[in-house]
Amino acid sequence: MLRQGILLQNRYRILRWVGGGGMGEVYLAEDTRLPGRRCAIKEMSPAQQKPQDRNWAIHAFQQEAQILAQLRHPGLIAVTNFFSERNNWYLVMDYVEGETLEERLKRAPRGHLPLDEAMDIIRQLCDGLEYLHGQHPPVVFRDLKPGNVMITPQGGVRLIDFGIARFFKPGQTRDTVALGTPGYAAPEQYGRQGQSDARADIYSLGVLLHQMVTGYDPATTPFNLPSPRALNTDLPQQIEAVIQRATQMQPDQRYQSVRELRRALFRWRTPFPDWARWVWIGLGIAGTLLLGLCVVIMVWVWLWSPKPTATPTGTPKLPTNIPLPSPSLLTVTVPTATNTVTSKPGREAIPTPDTSSVILTDTPMPVDTPTPTVSRSAPLRIAYVHGPVANTDVYVADADGSGRTCVACAWCDEAEPAWSPDGTHIAYQSNCDGNYDIWIVDVGNHNAVQLTFTPGVDEREPHWSPDSSQIVYRASVAGSARNTDGELWVMNADGSSQQRLGSMAIRGRSPIWSPDGTKILFMSQRNGRWQVYIYILFTGDTNRLTNCSTNCRWPCWSPDGRYVAYHSTENATGSRSAIPEIIWVMYAEGGKVTPLTTGHQPGRPSWSRDGQIIFNSNRGIEAVFAADGSGRRILINDDDNWAPDWSE
């Protein structure tokens, strides 16, 4: 064991012993080249191993370093160095404060956790395991147990100790060495059913969930777990079913991927007991009668009171007397340039310059770029999607890109996240039920609710009204191309009263409510190229804001509604017509257009209340200051992260 104060590599000063196991000892150390930076150092001493195990132990330790050096994920520990000294091997890693899940379970009453806490831990473990299994070749952890799960003071979950993790080897019929912790390791890790693959981790994940919700030690009866509900009668049946399938002896009878398990686990709903159902029915009837009485009184007051002449303010409610059309009514031909919806007769559309004549310079934004008037106490957060187009999940992160968590993680495509104004929910699109529908998810407990169910219709790209009462979105015939116009629709935030936006069909996509609730910003290719438009709710006018020679797409508002940001593309036609090139800022009334940033394909901007613009690029998710485009920095690496949205 290393003594306190000893210096390794003339750099790492040992502070204290942290823990140890079969694969070595772990120490807390200080990196003297970066004063104040602490790290964890794992030591493997071949002399401490049995003679017959030494060669294997050295290989396993080197493999752990090889695996971790290639991985970057918030659910894993980053490796920063690997070396040999004094006949021992050392692995230097980030030091993470917290306690292991094993320690947490020891503190828990009756040895099991509250259901919400257990589900949150499993959700984060699913996130990390799915990342590992998605590597090429896949990385199988193979030792998922409470002692190898670290919980940070902020509630983050990290996998530690990759001592027996391995790359999956296609064609190999069985594991070379039988390894794992009894009770948690899958049968195939002991030479049964062939080589262990990702499904071995799914087995261990099921065992771990069983222990967290029941307090039962699986080492007591390996491969023979008692019924979860026999140990915890409050456990929902759906969760018991997930555990039982995940822990099947035969790999083919388990969930075949972490994503499949996660979908089954987080789509469960706890049914109301009979008495509660009748209470809600009674309350519903009473509420309906009360609402009817209020409507009668309001109509009477309206008929006998003077009519107001002042201009209405606040978020306008759209008319409710427009009937919900059948899906066949959505098969409207995309308007051509000759029948483009513009402003009403007698109203002049906003003139805008042709951005093809704008030369990209270092010209700063206008000096009166506003500071937001919105005052909120909640810290800024980012919502974004991770994965290739048509196969994504919705994540949230802190404003600096840390604390990344998946909140909509089913097997299907979940995309286009939009924060509710109070920052508690995210609306998004999902095709879990076949067609694309609008869903909302509670960011706190990750429970998702489906809002739209229209047969034969894809409903996409939701956005909240500033008072959270309504959601605007795009509707098109099911199966229509993703990158085309649809009809803009609106509904109440609970999914009721779905109707077209305006008395006539407004064609476009990516509708965004203005901060004052009086306008809808959207993009449309009705004239052959994508341009930015504004729909005025009070008047029903549609004004074109841009006159781009290429394509102008994905607009957003500044927090006070005075400015609009959007990106332009490299070309007007061809395969590069959707590749972003420049982010621009202009007045919402039209006029001057100012380039904000270019390089690395910046696109899909979102404007924060503290004056930052976030966007995706071919480097990941980045941010700049809206005032002058300065301070550009990468918040989240990897171009598989995109469609960012600031919380409001």
* Distance set, CA 578 to CA 206, 483, 584, 638 (Å): 43, 9, 16, 19
458 is catalytic: no
Check residue 648 and give its pLDDT: 78
* Cα gap 297→371, rounded to integer Å: 43
pLDDT at 161 over 70: yes
Amino acid identity at 469: S
pLDDT at 300 over 70: no
Query: pLDDT tens digit string along 589-608?
Result: 988 899 999 999 999 999 99
What share of residues in the chain are helix, strand, coil (percent, to 5)? 20, 30, 45
Omega before 146 cis (within 30°)? no
Query: pLDDT tens digit string along 66-82?
Result: 777 777 788 888 888 88
CATH class of the domain defined by 327-646: mainly beta
Check residue 314 and give its pLDDT: 43
Task: Identify which has the larger pLDDT, 486 or 351.
Answer: 486
Task: State both tokens at 63.
Answer: 């493999």
Omega before 137 cis (within 30°)? yes
Check residue 281 and give its pLDDT: 60
Q: Provide φ and ψ at 287, rounded to 5°.
A: -65, -40
pLDDT at 322 over 50: no
Query: pLDDT tens digit string along 455-472?
Result: 889 999 999 999 999 999
Query: pLDDT tens digit string along 545-577?
Result: 999 989 999 999 999 999 999 999 977 776 677
* Cα gap 406→428, rounded to integer Å: 13
Element (H, E) at 245: helix 237-246
pTM of the predicted model over 0.85: no
Sheet with 425-433, edge to edge strand ranges: 414-419, 425-433, 435-442, 448-450
The distance between the two most distant Cα atoms of the chain, rounded to a whole number of Å, is 98
Among candidate residues 147, 138, 284, the one with its CA nearest the CA of residue 202: 138
**Domain over 99-265 is classified CATH 1.10.510.10:** yes
Contact (Cβ atoms closer than 8 angstroms) between residue 216 and residue 207: no
Contact (Cβ atoms closer than 8 angstroms) between residue 178 and residue 190: yes
* Cα gap 476→486, rounded to integer Å: 5
Amino acid identity at 84: S
Query: pLDDT tens digit string along 348-363?
Result: 343 334 433 333 433 4
Contact (Cβ atoms closer than 8 angstroms) between residue 75 and residue 152: no
* Cα gap 536→543, rounded to integer Å: 8
* Distance set, CA 211 to CA 105, 255, 303, 574 (Å): 9, 19, 65, 55
Query: pLDDT tens digit string along 97-127?
Result: 899 999 999 999 989 999 989 998 998 999 8
Tell me which of 31, 120, 143, 413 is the catalytic residue: 143
* Distance set, CA 64 to CA 18, 70, 627 (Å): 19, 10, 46
Hey, which CATH number is domain 7-94, 3.20.20.70, 3.40.220.10, 3.30.200.20, 3.20.20.80?
A: 3.30.200.20
* Cα gap 118→155, rounded to integer Å: 11
